[in-house]
Structure 1
Amino acid sequence: MQKKIGVILVVSFLTGCATPVYNYQAQSKQMSKPPIGSINTAYVGDKMLEQGVFTDREVLRVDSPTKVNMFYSLTPGNYLKTGQSNQGIFYSAFNQIENGGNVQKNPLADPIKALMLSADGKLCVVSVLNAKNCTNQHQAKTSVVGVASDNSFQQTLIYSGKVGQKINIGYREFSSNLARPAFNNDVEYDLNDSFEIGYKGALLEILDANNQKITYRVIRNFNK
């Protein structure tokens, strides 16, 4: 009987209550990068040109695996902000974005509802019962990242390497952050013909290229 009471007291000590809120709204914007006229270097597999609708989102950045307690832990990555109240700032526990982080739980733990950075700086996992499990042993930091919008459309050019005097460029389209296979294409350009290459309105001047990297100047992006 004494052991059971001890367990209940420990669990009560680890948990409190928090009610997640969802009052955060981020603003979307059209983005083209790199800037027109800029000189840039991209390595094989890197994006040379990118255009689309992006959103600057406030996030909680977790740089290393973080254990909250025996029930919950966090993987490294970015956690999207969902709202804020006098209790603290709330974030999504599961993040399907590039470099997104996720909260993990012990099989015996309650399902996860949200992540919270409390007003006193503690990192807390909030369960579906609004119970919070917190730790002050963390290095999480607030930050801002650009995220592709849910209803967005992006276009990119990717450097794929060089063979002789010919360079290979990949074109990719993404809708709602998912690739559109029917609109993907790989194009080969012969630098003996011209040092300017174009695709779907975009125009680049190639300054130097080898099978590891390419240096280029942006003359025009896809829409300007």
Structure 2
Amino acid sequence: MKKVVSIIALLMLSGCTSPKYNYMPKIESFSEPPIGSVNTASVGDSLIRQGVAQSYEGIKIAAPAKVSWGYTVTPGTLKKIGEDKNSEFFYLSGSPDSAHVDKAALADMWQGIMVKKGTKTLCVITVFGATSCEDNMPIEKIYLNVVGDASFQQTLLYNGRVGNKINIGYRELSSNTARPAFNNDVEYDLSESKNIGYKGAKFEVIDASNQSIKYKVLSNFH
């Protein structure tokens, strides 16, 4: 009984750790390829892309990171969710290469990952606010483009050539979800003009086959 009371007293003195949720990602616009550039794309590839993406600070786990006896953080990425003066807090990135946390059967459920600033000390925060930490973990800082409510993208796709006509697809994505009402496939006759335009995006066809296209970007979406 005395031993249990001592453990509870120690926990009360040490306090609990909770992830901080005060980090805001950067909202960045992108437009590619550059206007004036000459590019080659295969069937199904994008020709012109423009939109808005959310850029997060994050970390990459390069190898399985075993934290104490109860947790293993698998290789992959984690996105930043907050920080305080001593630590940064991370969670699953949501991307296909996201890291995961495997826990032992008797270990408590986890709620976040903490990295002490200026170190490679990685900690798992449990739902009870306890932390398990290990030094010299295989982590590196990175930047992530993560889909969010602010994400939006317009794309022109090359769908191939039949005879003297090429087929160009237009697609819109919002928060990584296709907007079918705004999607379209259009045929262009190269005998009429080699300058192709859709919703302000324009390019000049230099060469095209049923497998690939070489083109020069004239303008992006308006």
> 1:81 offset after TM fit, Å?
0.8
Does 1:115 pair with 2:113?
Answer: yes
Does 1:55 pair with 2:54?
Answer: yes
TM-score by length of 1: 0.76
Does structure 2 conserve the Cα–Cα contact (< 8 Å) formed by 1:18 and 1:87? no
Letter in 1 for 2:107: A
Between the aligned partners of 2:78 and 2:181, the Cα distance in structure 1 is 31
Letter in 1 for 2:50: Q
Q: Note the 1:5-154 alignment, pairs <5 A.
A: 18-68=17-67, 71-92=70-91, 94-97=92-95, 99-119=97-117, 120-136=119-135, 138-154=137-153
> 1:163 offset after TM fit, Å?
4.1
Q: Deviations over 1:65-119 (max 9, x none)?
A: 5444553333443321111224321111x33246444334345432221122223
Structure exhibiting the larger radius of gyration computed from Cα positions: 2
Letter in 2 for 1:196: N
Distance 1:136 1:170, change over 3 A: farther
Distance 1:44 1:91, change over 3 A: farther
Between the aligned partners of 2:64 and 2:212, the Cα distance in structure 1 is 33
Q: Note the 1:189-200 alignment, pairs <5 A.
A: 189-200=188-199
Between the aligned partners of 2:88 and 2:37, the Cα distance in structure 1 is 38
Q: Secondary structure at the match of 2:214?
A: strand
Letter in 2 for 1:110: D
Q: Structure 2: which 5+ residue stretches go unaligned?
A: 1-6, 8-14
> 1:17 offset after TM fit, Å?
6.0
Distance 1:34 1:145, change over 3 A: farther
Between the aligned partners of 2:48 and 2:145, the Cα distance in structure 1 is 16
Between the aligned partners of 2:32 and 2:162, the Cα distance in structure 1 is 27
Letter in 2 for 1:83: G
Distance 1:199 1:84, change over 3 A: same
Does structure 2 conserve the Cα–Cα contact (< 8 Å) formed by 1:161 and 1:210? yes
What is the alpha-carbon root mean square deviation over aligned residues? 3.0
Q: Secondary structure at the match of 1:192?
A: coil
Q: What is the match of residue 3 of structure 2?
A: none
Q: What is the match of residue 13 of structure 1?
A: none
Distance 1:105 1:49, change over 3 A: farther
Between the aligned partners of 1:20 and 1:203, the Cα distance in structure 2 is 47
Does structure 2 conserve the Cα–Cα contact (< 8 Å) formed by 1:173 and 1:180? yes
Between the aligned partners of 2:64 and 2:96, the Cα distance in structure 1 is 17
Q: Identity of aligned pairs, percent?
A: 47
> 1:217 offset after TM fit, Å?
1.6
Between the aligned partners of 1:208 and 1:193, the Cα distance in structure 2 is 15
TM-score by length of 2: 0.77
Q: Secondary structure at the match of 2:28?
A: strand
The alignment of Structure 1 onto Structure 2 pairs a total of residues equal to 209
Q: Deviations over 1:11-62 (max 9, x none)?
A: xxxxx96432122222313332222222223333332222122232211123
Between the aligned partners of 1:212 and 1:73, the Cα distance in structure 2 is 45
Does structure 2 conserve the Cα–Cα contact (< 8 Å) formed by 1:153 and 1:176? yes
Q: Secondary structure at the match of 1:133?
A: strand
